[in-house]
């Protein structure tokens, strides 16, 4: 008997800080910075241009520079509006991340997309975004690094972003339930701190506890807003923060952490009631032990993911496999 082929699944986490894609269990992360490369002719003759190593994605003749350093090739056009997910700029980020893990053409894929909780709570805005996502169905062709890529999407499933971290925690790579997730009575709190938002989500036996759904715009952007920009774009500062080149004063980080903890308390006043608390997202990575210790001090049973940045998209991929399996 021929071995059973894995279903075609694409996990997609279109975060404001990083765009993440998971295909065949492999995850790719691209900073959500995008620009239209300027044509400068011979203006840099005799010198090395700063953005030579930036990925350039070509979509039907339209070129976009993506990722860290995209701002060196042209004016950054990163949109902080989820209604722009089907725009060419956002597609370029999606394609840039997909190219890192796409092995040959992929047909009739299930695309599992994660969206932030505050967006999904706004029924009218969420409806408009879900409608725009339908444009991602069909054929996708693009070029990057002088190589052509193609895939097609036949179905789209949308999840709240924190649900990905829960699924990644609950199931191993073979989709077996982890022993730690074996109890149907376990209540799991996910705290997803992205660039723009903190998403709060509680699940029990795979079901959402609606009384604990919440969120606030206290993501990494809040920390960056406290810093002097000196003309630097938000995405430039975010890249420097993640690389360690930007080191905010401890007082600023503690002030931001205070805002995050206050937002958590508004939705989940007592962390001791939860069997597991999972911090994730780029903000969790930035706060690191400060966040871990602060949560533990409030009685939280903290589970720190192997990679807080990619745990959501890994969960979306696992969800897709379970849906089609």
Domain segments of the chain as ranges: 9-161+313-324, 178-308
Distance between CA atoms of residues 142 and 98, nearest Å: 11
> Nearest 5°: CA angle at 140, between 136 and 141?
155
Can you give the pLDDT at residue 299?
Answer: 97
pLDDT in tens, 226-253: 886 666 778 888 888 888 889 999 999 9
Percent of the chain with pLDDT over 70: 91
**Pairing between strand 18-23 and 9-14?**
antiparallel
Q: Which fold has domain 9-161+313-324?
A: Nucleotidyltransferase; domain 5 (3.30.420)
DSSP letter (8 states) at residue 221: H
Can you give the pLDDT at residue 5?
Answer: 59
Q: Which residues have CB under 8 Å from 301's CB, separation 6+?
A: 274, 275, 276, 277
Distance between CA atoms of residues 259 and 283, nearest Å: 12
Give percent helix, percent strand, percent coil of the chain, each to the nearest 5: 35, 25, 35
Can you give the pLDDT at residue 231?
Answer: 67
Do the two domains 9-161+313-324 and 178-308 of this chain adopt the same fold? yes
CATH superfamily assigned to domain 178-308: ATPase, nucleotide binding domain (3.30.420.40)
Q: What torsion do the CA atoms of 99, 35, 81, 18 make, to the nearest 10 degrees? A: 50
Can you give the pLDDT at residue 47?
Answer: 37
Grade residue 46 by pLDDT with cuts at 50, 70 and 90: very low
- What is the separation of C-alpha 32 from the centre of its chain, rounded to a whole number of angstroms? 9
Contact 103, 66 (CB under 8 A): no
Is the model's pLDDT at 269 over the cut of 90?
yes
Structure tokens at 68: 């860290």
- Coil, helix or strand at residue 152: strand
Contact 30, 17 (CB under 8 A): no
pLDDT in tens, 55-107: 899 999 999 999 988 988 888 887 667 778 889 999 999 999 999 999 888 99
Contact 188, 202 (CB under 8 A): yes
Distance between CA atoms of residues 308 and 283, nearest Å: 9
Identity of the highest mean pLDDT range in 116-120, 164-168, 193-197: 164-168
**Pairing between strand 106-115 and 9-14?**
parallel
């Amino acid at each position: 008997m021929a071995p059973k082929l894995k279903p075609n699944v694409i996990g997609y986490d279109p975060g404001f800080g990083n765009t993440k894609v998971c295909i065949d269990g492999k995850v790719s992360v691209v900073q959500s910075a995008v620009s239209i490369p300027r044509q400068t002719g011979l203006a840099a003759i005799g010198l090395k241009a700063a953005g030579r190593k930036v990925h350039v994605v070509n979509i039907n003749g339209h070129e976009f520079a993506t990722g860290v350093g995209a701002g060196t090739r042209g004016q950054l056009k990163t949109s902080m509006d989820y209604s722009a997910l089907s725009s060419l700029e956002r597609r370029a980020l999606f394609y840039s991340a997909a190219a890192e893990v796409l092995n040959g053409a992929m047909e009739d894929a299930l695309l599992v997309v994660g969206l932030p909780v505050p967006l999904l709570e706004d029924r009218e805005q969420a409806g408009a975004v879900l409608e725009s996502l339908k444009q991602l169905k069909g054929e996708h062709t693009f070029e990057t690094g002088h190589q052509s890529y193609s895939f097609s999407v036949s179905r789209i499933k949308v999840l709240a972003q924190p649900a990905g971290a829960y699924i990644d925690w609950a199931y191993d790579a073979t989709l077996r339930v982890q022993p730690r997730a074996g109890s149907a009575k376990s209540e799991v709190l996910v705290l997803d701190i992205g660039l723009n938002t903190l998403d709060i989500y509680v699940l029990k036996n795979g079901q959402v506890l609606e009384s604990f759904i919440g969120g606030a715009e206290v993501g990494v952007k809040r920390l960056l807003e406290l810093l002097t920009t000196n003309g630097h774009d938000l995405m430039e500062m975010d890249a420097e923060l993640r690389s360690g080149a930007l080191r905010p004063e401890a007082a600023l980080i503690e002030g931001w952490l205070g805002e995050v903890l206050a937002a958590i308390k508004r939705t989940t006043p007592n962390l001791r009631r939860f069997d597991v608390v999972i911090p994730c997202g780029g903000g969790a990575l930035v706060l690191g032990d400060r966040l871990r210790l602060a949560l533990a001090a409030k009685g939280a049973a903290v589970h720190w993911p192997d990679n807080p940045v990619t745990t959501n998209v890994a969960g979306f991929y696992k969800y897709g496999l379970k849906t089609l399996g």
